[in-house]
Amino acid sequence: MEGTKTVAFHTLGCKLNYSETSSLSRLMEQEGFEKKEFTDVADVYVINTCSVTDNADKECRQLVRRIQRKAPESVVVITGCYAQLKPKEIADIPGVDLVLGAAEKFNIVKHIKELSKNDAAKICSCDIEDVTGFHSSYSINDRTRTFLKVQDGCDYTCSFCTIPMARGKSRSASIDAVLKDAQSLAASGAKEIVLTGINLGDFGKGPDGNASAAINGRAENFYKLIQELDQVEGIERFRISSIEPNLLGNEIIEFVANSKKFMPHFHIPLQSGSNAVLGAMRRRYKRELYADRVGLIKTLMPHCCIGVDVIVGFPGETDAYFKETYDFLHELEISYLHVFTYSERANTHALTLEPVVPVALRNERNKTLRNLSYMKMQYFEQQHTGQTRKVLFENHNKNGMMEGYTDNYIRITTPYRKEWEHQIVDWNL
């Protein structure tokens, strides 16, 4: 594809996708492409997709149609989870030129250079079993906070989830490789690193999915990783993006409680507060273990922010089971919820489960939990009124205002001041 000079990116889904998009952008800029905003006209558009919910699939289609109207001669590339799961379906979308599966996304420059707009959509994919490499990725669009991918894939078989089919088996970078990335980010001026992965607590398996080589006679794991990162000079804050409750051991919680760099903030997926539903979901814990984890965190760090993922409307979730979830979350000392409405995904075990919850009822339950989340966050913020906490401000001037987050993830909005950009400021709440 000769003469192409501009490229625009759009990311759907998780923070891991954002880190990978940033890495893809750097690959293309190194080859002479000029990066444009997605709202601009560009020669190439790259959409990095998610496929956790049906909405992500629909959004991808809408974006392609928008590009077709705005820039019909541009090349459209689709990659990410949706591209791995349904490459033929995507290739049939009018306007799509190239579909890159999990093994080929980081070969994007080579594939684009070989492409012609008038060809039929080209699919570059493979069986997910053949996806074994680990590609380090991080976002550096904003020096304030960067997302660093340290783990990919998942060996779990949750009955609602397509991610293992889209990303393959669990695999990680080595601790040495992560430390080098962190040091590079520190040199670039990053103040905060958010560690990301598909199943972050499973860190320690090498790029081939097998246990990584032992360091000083001991195998690598997530606990050892955070101990090493805590020593990196130049990075002032680390956050753990999301970690399964069964992999969040006491030693990790205790370490964060005593660390000056790891922030008092956990995001711990729950999915349901009913043990019966957790069993049907094939989750690897019961609600009692989850409550124990939250209890230890709050004992050691009463000021800690705890976010929770929860799914409503899973097959078999009766009114009584949903009430169990609501009551469980209401009683727990958590700070906010990310609420997902269950949507049917092809080739998942959940499709065989009954009874199916009507969509209208799923949406109603979603609203109920979002209201609970709002109340939880209001209460959490009120508990800290009058305290002084450290806020890392971002560099965005949003209509004369700027935003930042306290160590324990309370969002602060204040009139924009240039001298506070990328700075940690003592703030009276």
How far, CA to CA in Å, does 240 sit from each of 141, 236, 296?
Answer: 20, 14, 17
- In degrees rounded to 5, what are phi and psi of residue 418? -55, -40
pLDDT at 54: 67
Token reading at 424: 């940690």
Q: For residue 237, how far is the Cα from the chain centroid? A: 18
Q: What is the pLDDT along the chain (429 residues), one digit of tens a residue?
A: 556 689 999 998 888 889 999 999 999 999 999 999 999 999 999 999 987 666 767 888 899 999 999 999 999 999 999 889 989 989 999 999 999 998 899 999 999 988 876 677 899 987 887 777 898 898 876 668 899 999 999 999 999 999 899 999 999 999 999 999 999 999 999 999 999 999 999 999 876 656 654 444 458 999 999 999 999 999 999 999 999 999 999 999 999 999 999 999 999 999 999 999 999 999 999 999 999 999 999 999 999 999 999 999 999 999 999 999 999 999 999 999 999 999 999 899 999 999 999 999 999 999 999 999 999 999 999 999 999 999 999 988 889 999 999 999 999 999 999 999 999 999 999
pLDDT at 53: 64
pLDDT at 395: 85
CB-based contacts of 34: which residues, under 8 Å, 6+ apart?
A: 5, 6, 7
pLDDT at 157: 94
pLDDT at 217: 46
Dist CA 270 CA 243 (whole Å): 10
Tokens 């088996």 appear where? 169
**β-strand 424-428 against 388-393: which pairing, if any?**
antiparallel
Specify which residues 265 forms β-bridges with.
305
Which ranges of 282-417 does DSSP label H, i.e. alpha helix? 287-300, 319-331, 359-383
pLDDT at 139: 84
How far, CA to CA in Å, does 62 sit from each of 59, 71, 94?
Answer: 5, 14, 11
Which conformational region is residue 67 in: left (phi greater than 0), alpha (psi within -120 to 50 degrees), or beta?
Answer: alpha
Dist CA 321 CA 272 (whole Å): 9
Dist CA 244 CA 281 (whole Å): 14
pLDDT at 271: 98
pTM comes to 0.90
Which ranges of 309-405 does DSSP label H, i.e. alpha helix? 319-331, 359-383
pLDDT at 332: 98
Give all strands of the β-sheet with 305-312 in edge-to-edge order.
Answer: 265-271, 305-312, 336-341
Dist CA 308 CA 378 (whole Å): 15
Dump strand ranges (E) for 133-278: 137-138, 145-149, 151-152, 171-172, 192-196, 237-240, 265-271
